[in-house]
Amino acid sequence: MMRACVLALVLAVGCKNGPSQDQCKQLLDHMVDLEFKKASAAASSDALKAEIAKQKGLVTDKVSNEFIDTCTKKMAKARVECALAANELDGDNGASKCDDAK
């Protein structure tokens, strides 16, 4: 599920004024936070919430290098800035709305 969200965000047309490596790192952290915020809200126990927090770190570590490389080379800066401002994955202020930002 998380990988699909990350990959959906990565598919963009490149531009000369692309995002910085720092912006892409921030975007990865932000997208993982949004994804796991949903899962944590649905968790019914402290043990499950702790497991979700552990998984969050593992996901970030696993996709970090590939995501940042693809982000800096292929994503439009406007799209990254839009997604960083999103406070949810979907919905009125969701990162999915940033697909049109070029």
pLDDT tens digits, 14-59: 445 789 999 999 999 999 888 888 777 777 788 887 888 888 888 8
pLDDT digits (tens, 9 = 90+) for 83-99: 999 998 888 878 888 87
Q: Is the residue at 1 inside a domain? A: no
Q: Which amino acid is at 76?
A: A
Instruction: Name which residue leads in pLDDT, 42 or 100.
Output: 42
Q: Is the residue at 28 inside a domain? A: yes
Instruction: Read off the tokens for 72.
Output: 């800096």
Angle, helices 46-74/2-10, rounded to nearest 10 degrees: 20
pLDDT at 6: 46
Supply the pTM of this predicted model: 0.71
pLDDT reading at 13 higher than 60? no
Contact residues for 77 (Cβ-Cβ < 8 A; gap 6+): 15, 17, 18, 19, 23
Q: Is the residue at 10 inside a domain? A: no
Say what the alpha-carbon torsion angle 19, 8, 14, 101 is, to the nearest 10 degrees: -70
The phi and psi torsions of 9 (rounded to 5 degrees) equal -70, -30
Domain ranges, residue 36: 17-100
Q: Is the residue at 2 inside a domain? A: no
Q: Is the residue at 3 inside a domain? A: no
Number of domains in the chain: 1
Confidence of residue 101 (pLDDT cuts 50, 70, 90): low
Q: Is the residue at 12 inside a domain? A: no
Q: Is the residue at 88 inside a domain? A: yes
pLDDT at 16: 53
